[in-house]
Amino acid sequence: MNRGLLIRAFRESWPAMLLLGLVLMGVEAALAFVLPKFGSQMSEQWLQLDFARGIMQAMLGTEIGDHIGPQMFQAVAWVHPVALALTWAHALVSCTRVPAGEVDRGTADVLLGLPVSRWEVFFSETVVWLVCGTALLAAGLAGNLLGIQALPPDHRPQLSRLFIVLANLFCLYAAVGGLAWLVSSLSDRRGRAMTIVFLVLLSLFLLNYLAQFWHPLEKIVFLSPLHYHRPVNVLGNGAWPWRDMGVLLASGGVMWLAGGAVFARRDLCTV
């Protein structure tokens, strides 16, 4: 690991981390505070309606079953489209910096004119991305903890269960990042790479959402990373979703490795 590369990568990454982290903190605080209040105003009978139940299940990505209660609304805070959009936006911004961003900006020449291997650049950027990603999710957790202070103690989720949800979300973040690394390695234009990843994620998000309404899609819903992030189960039973986390980490890892291999072998042309 090269110290200079780490310094450079961190200097380029912290503004996005700080900005998105603060916004995520605010969003999580607001959701954690508002959603349970919203839930208390809804009768369980309302959730027995197919339509209302469908929407809630689509958002949570799983059968509600007997999870109706405060933890269900707490879980929404971790699958809410705004929260997901913020974490994914960070993964997208961070993981398309190298090589697509550097080639696009024209700074790849100076960076790779230094005595560093492409794998070293890739590793350094990855380390900084993962550190920043951890900080981003920690900011989300801090916001969530702030928001739930306003709830009655028996409505607050257990901290240990929140950590499991966060670990699962981190795996989802890593899978999205892995995809972004791969697309970035294949591209010379950062905007193009971000657009491709965004469209893929949007399709997978919709797949997970629509599968709750249109049953033929259930056969392919396993392709969506959201299928492996179901905080309502974790908050309900406190069990580690090892299989889900494993699938997300493995798919993210394979795509990241493929991205690194492509970057190490490809031609780089900024002119």
Partner 1 sequence: MVSLIQLDNLTRRYGRRRAVERVSLSVPEGTLFGFLGPNGAGKTTTIRVMLGFLQPTSGQARIFGLDCWRESKAIKQDIGYLPGDLRLPPWMNGLNALWIFGAVRDKDLTGAGGELAEKFDLDLRVKVRDMSRGMRQKLGLILALAHSPRLLVLDEPTSALDPLMQQVLHDLLRQLAAAGHTVFFSSHSLSEVEQLCDHVAIVRDGEIVANESLDLLRNRAGHDVTIRWRNDASSAPIEPPDFLKLTRREGMIWQGTLDGPVPRLVEFLAGKPVEDLSVGRPDLESLFRRYYEHDREDRR
Q: Where are the alpha helices (DSSP H) in 96-117?
A: 102-105, 108-112
Burial of 4 per CB tally in 10 Å (0-12, 13-18, 19+): exposed
Which of 109-117, 129-137, 173-181, 253-261 is the region at the interface with partner 1 (rule: CB under 8 A)?
Answer: 109-117
Terminal-to-terminal C-alpha distance of the chain? 29
Please list every residue from 47 through 66 that binds partner 1, using CB under 8 A: none
- The answer to the question of residue 190 lying near partner 1 (CB under 8 A) is no
User: Minimum Å distance from CB 109 to partner 1?
Assistant: 4
Contact pick of 40, 109, 199, 246 for partner 1 (by CB under 8 A): 109
The phi and psi torsions of 63 (rounded to 5 degrees) equal: -65, 135
- The answer to the question of residue 216 lying near partner 1 (CB under 8 A) is no
Nearer to partner 1, 50 or 267 (CB): 267
User: Minimum Å distance from CB 108 to partner 1?
Assistant: 8
Query: What value, to the nearest 5°, has the Cα angle with vertex 230 and ends 49 and 238?
Result: 110
- The answer to the question of residue 8 lying near partner 1 (CB under 8 A) is yes
Contact pick of 44, 216, 243, 269 for partner 1 (by CB under 8 A): 269
Please list every residue from 248 through 267 that binds partner 1, using CB under 8 A: 265, 267
Rg (CA), the chain: 20
- The answer to the question of residue 116 lying near partner 1 (CB under 8 A) is yes
How distant, in Å, are the alpha carbons of 146, 149, 163 from that of 29? Answer: 6, 9, 16
Nearer to partner 1, 12 or 130 (CB): 12
How distant, in Å, are the alpha carbons of 33, 146, 150, 154, 181 from that of 26? Answer: 11, 9, 15, 23, 28
Q: How far apart are CA 270 and CA 48, in angstroms?
A: 58
- The answer to the question of residue 7 lying near partner 1 (CB under 8 A) is yes
Which of 26-34, 55-63, 103-111, 234-242 is the region at the interface with partner 1 (rule: CB under 8 A)?
Answer: 103-111
Nearer to partner 1, 20 or 103 (CB): 103
Q: How far apart are CA 128 and CA 135, in angstroms?
A: 11
Binding positions for partner 1, rule: CB under 8 A: 2-5, 7-8, 11-12, 105-110, 112-117, 120, 265, 267-271
